[in-house]
Structure 1
């Protein structure tokens, strides 16, 4: 996702808003479904997921795609960790061009859909390869549809991340986590007044305290298996000490100061499909290089020490079955592996 306004300097834009940060949630809500009711049926090879490892919202789609085994049905284009105020760019590809879509900027796919598109050029986005048009950037619905509409292409042993019997509870927990934690860290970091920051800070840590209590006696957020709710919380927790604590002033305490949450985060990090999507180098580059109104020097910190992510978590004593009746995903495709220098998993 690109959290920007239309003001600010030409290259990076401005992020801090007067008063309270208000995220623009007007997404392209066209859905890709099994019955194709919006004109876009689920088909193998027809679409390309465009994401960025740095972005927590896109990271959700990367995890769900991995867990469900959709790599062969839904190809992946990865943008680099930084962007200017115009668009995410394909800095990591030869010639800085996506090899499948043939574009330099994700903006081109949005303009192919709507030449007058005036909102943020966000990731994740799913692009129809043949037309080059963005179909959807509705990140919340996107992962639910990967779970419920793309079942024909799920791998054998794929987990049920959105079990029907638990959907109401998953939605309730996910909504609270989104409001106070996923978006709450941005409401702290992009607050334009002391009152707005204080309110966001208090809501964030009140919810983290609530999560700490909830996870003290259960291994996962809802039920006894990994669900969509866990995916949504994890991507924020993975960035908390590396970025949000300092850069966004979410500094009542580090994630490591919450025993249950820290154990829970480490448990998921070492679960196939989660930690192997996390690129700590790109995460830090994104926040510290792009948000120049918060970090005008663009200095990227060397810390924190990441070795703690691999320390024993002890969460197994709480029971639970990570994949339910399913199985872990195989290792990521060679072309989609996070560089070993960017993750403690290869240490």
Structure 2
């Protein structure tokens, strides 16, 4: 099993690595990278919540035929993410065996971790962006001309300020908060992150008790970002990252909200619990030195009725759901 150490502050707090590649792919190409069908390859791990956001957005917006998808092995070795799920261990679109090679093609002196999601320029084989917060926003805006008919408005102009506000606190306390719990190296840092995480989950429960979605009456970018953490909560974060005040299944409002999204096309059909559990429990030797992957929890509960329709709301607004994968 490979050891992947976390970066921590002197107080034992988890510090997330900054994104190195932050160039944007734009509609008009003014950034130097123009949104074009077939030009780029989105590389993800189905285990990773940050990458999962882009998979959901790509599905909801109908960009599958425009932006190809590469999926890495949920387990990493010393060179990082590998394409061992593909024939001969090579990504069929780029020919890469390791995502690291695309990073080094973009910066030969790069020495950080090779993270997903990453958008690779197919012709040059180099990473254009690994800026996961901006990536999904750009899929909604800069790639709009390629959206499917009936694609939902995930980042509508009139709601952007509120979506950004919600995203900021959800990132700080929940999305990144579970990692701050799991990778803390002091009791004090862990407890600060733990308290902030569950205080935020309590406030989100209060917010969602009377409204079906986080912002407005349709699914937005805010729901995607919260969902990718919630869907991993009981399978990984509750035990592995010591986020154990409650399980998600013990938080009635959030559990119903998460099931509502899971049962919405584009969400649950992009979840792979096997990849999630194998990645978390097998690649963090400092947290789980035995590498044993738990057999539970039972995922069947995700398909039980949630009752959230009673709150109203229109998941896709004036749009339509994506077709289920064949």
| Normalised TM-score (structure 2) | 0.98
1:262 corresponds to which of 249, 252, 255: 255
Structure-2 separation of matches of 1:54 and 1:181: 17
Q: What pairs up with 1:10-159 in 2 under 5 angstroms?
A: 11-15=2-6, 17=8, 19-159=12-152
Please list every run of 5 or more consecutive structure 1 residues that lacks an aligned counterpart in the other structure.
Answer: 1-8, 335-347
Distance 2:84 2:198 in 1: 36
Aligned counterpart for 1:303 among listed residues 296, 299, 316:
296
For residues 120 and 267 of structure 1, the distance between their equivalents in structure 2, rounded to whole angstroms, comes to: 34
Distance in 2, Cα, partners of 1:236 & 1:99: 30
Specify the alignment match of 1:326 in structure 2. 319
Aligned residue runs from structure 1 range 231-250, under 5 A: 231-250=224-243
In the alignment, is the contact (CA less than 8 A) between 2:7 and 2:16 conserved in 1? no
Matched, 1:189 2:192: no
2:154 is paired with a residue whose SS is coil
TM-score, normalization: structure 1? 0.92
- SS in structure 1 at match of 2:75: coil
**Which digits, 9 at most, give the CA deviation of each residue in 1:149-180, with x for residues without a partner?**
00111000000000000000000000000000
Residue 161 (structure 1) aligns with: 154
For residue 255 of structure 2, give the secondary structure of its aligned residue in structure 1: helix
1:276 alignment partner in structure 2: 269
Q: Is the 8 A contact 1:15 1:293 kept in 2?
A: no
The 2-side partners of 1:316 and 1:27 are apart by 42
Consecutive unaligned residues of structure 2, counting only runs of 5 or more, are: none
In the TM superposition, what are the counterparts of 1:162-241 in structure 2 within 5 Å?
162-241=155-234
Q: Indicate the SS of the match to 1:289.
A: helix
1:4-34 per-position Cα deviation (integer Å, ceiling 9, x unaligned): xxxxx9x332237460001112331100000
Report the Cα distance in structure 2 between the residues aligned to 1:42 and 1:70, rounded to whole angstroms: 11
Does the CA-based 8 Å contact 1:82-1:286 persist in structure 2?
yes
